[in-house]
Amino acid sequence: MGMIHPVTLSAFAKSLHAETAFDVLAIAKALKAKGKDVVELQIGDSPFATPAIARSAGIRAIESHQTHYCSSLGLPDFREAIAKSYREEFGVPVTAQNVVVGPGAKVFEQFFCEAFLDPGDEVLVFSPHFPTYGPNIERRGARMVTSQLRQEHQFRTDLDDVELFLRTGPKARAIFLNSPHNPTGGVATEDDLRRLADLVRGRNIAIFSDEPYDHMVWTGKHVPMLAMEGIQDQVVACYTFSKSYSMSGWRLGYAISSTRIIEAIGKMTNAPSESLVFLQLPTIFLKLIERIGNVSKKIGR
């Protein structure tokens, strides 16, 4: 006889579906624990160790008692280090006031949806897409509209589909952009981004620019959506330490946008998900960025 539960879950809770890659990850780990030889392809995690410079700095920070609360936006010095790096790497004039820190990049999907979407709104998503986009859109009562990425177009954004979405979508409200793209590896060109910016600039359309693989462009150089002119107040761009720096288990990321939007997201991070203080090490972050830059020079980017 099945167990009777006196307290029922909400309709929302019962409707949720999780990122299945983590289910497969658990199975893979269990098989490896039994001595099985497993090639893991289920999740976008680095096979390399966290750099020693970050490991030792984290230990020192804990031992020096940097383990208490901080501003929900993140430590001011850390935010300034991120802004400095962004200005130097991409030429985008941002300051610490344009930065909010979070536990990885994924959480900013939720905060973006909470910031911009109301029930019935429509969101354009390029597919195949990251599996948590849908649930975050649906939890706001919004509707996902998909555009298929095609191999013959190098898995790049179809601007004709964007135009169609904006012209015919009765409640078009947002676009999810992921470049470099997971899982296809497609990369939007600077011209793609410029045309996209021209289509949405000045309209009531927000863009979630998901850029965790920004250092994994092997031909040319990554161009962020925020580098497009006059678009900062319509874009939330998110980044993570998980990929470039092999720090997925540290749960550290950040988002960049206009000060107005960052202030709103900062209020959201105050409730569920402040980042660990001892991880927010501005000096170490700048050294890691410098290391990435040196590697880029060696491979001719």
Q: pLDDT by residue for the chain (301 residues), tens digit each?
A: 566 767 888 887 787 766 676 677 788 888 888 989 988 776 777 788 888 888 888 888 788 887 777 788 888 888 998 999 999 999 999 999 999 998 888 899 999 999 999 999 999 999 999 888 998 999 999 999 999 999 999 999 999 999 999 999 889 999 999 999 988 999 999 999 999 999 999 999 999 999 999 988 988 889 999 999 999 999 999 999 888 888 888 888 999 999 999 999 998 887 655 555 545 555 555 566 565 555 444 434 4
- 249 CB-near residues (< 8 Å, 6+ apart): none
Residues 18 and 135: their CA atoms lie apart, in Å, by: 8
Q: Three-state DSSP class for 134?
A: helix
Residue 158 neighbours by CB distance under 10 Å: 15
In the block, which residue shows the tokens 């970050």? Answer: 54
Q: What is the DSSP letter of 103?
A: S
- 129 CB-near residues (< 8 Å, 6+ apart): 146, 176, 178
Domains of the chain: 52-298 (3.40.640.10)
The encoded tokens of residue 110 equal 């939720």
Model pLDDT for residues 77-113, shown as the tens digit of each residue = 889 989 999 999 999 999 999 999 988 888 999 999 9
Residue 67 neighbours by CB distance under 10 Å: 11
- 108 CB-near residues (< 8 Å, 6+ apart): 102, 208, 236, 238, 253, 255, 265
Here the contacts of 48-53 (C-beta below 8 Å, separation 24 or greater) are 48/246, 49/246, 50/245, 50/246, 50/247, 50/250, 51/245, 51/246, 51/288, 51/291, 53/284, 53/287, 53/288
